[in-house]
Structure 1
Amino acid sequence: MINIAICDDEKICIDTLLNDITEIYGDTTRFHFRSFNSGEDIISNFTRGQFDIIFMDIEMAEMDGLKTAEYIRSLDRNVILAFLTNYEKFVYSGYEVNAFRYILKDQPRPIYIKQIKDTINEYNRKLKYITIYSNDVLQKLMIDDIYYIEVYSREIIIHLADKCHRTTGKLKDYEDTFKGMYFAKPDRSHLVNAANIDFVEKDRLLLKNGEHLYISRRHYKDIVEAFIEYTKSRCI
Structure 2
Amino acid sequence: MLRGYVLHARPYRESSMLLNLLVDGLGRVDAVARVGSGKRSIKSIVQPFQPLLFQLSGRSDLRTLTQIESASPAVPLTGDALYAAMYLNELLVRVLGNHQSGEALFFSYHQSLLALAKGFEQTTLRYFELKLLSELGCMPSLVKDADGADIQADGCYRFIPEQGFTPFIGDARRQEALPGSTLLALAENRLQQEDWQAAKVLTRQLLRPLLGDKPLLSRQLFARRGGNLPREPQPPSRGEK
Fold conserved between structures, TM > 0.5: no
TM-score, normalized by length of structure 2? 0.28
TM-score, normalized by length of structure 1? 0.29
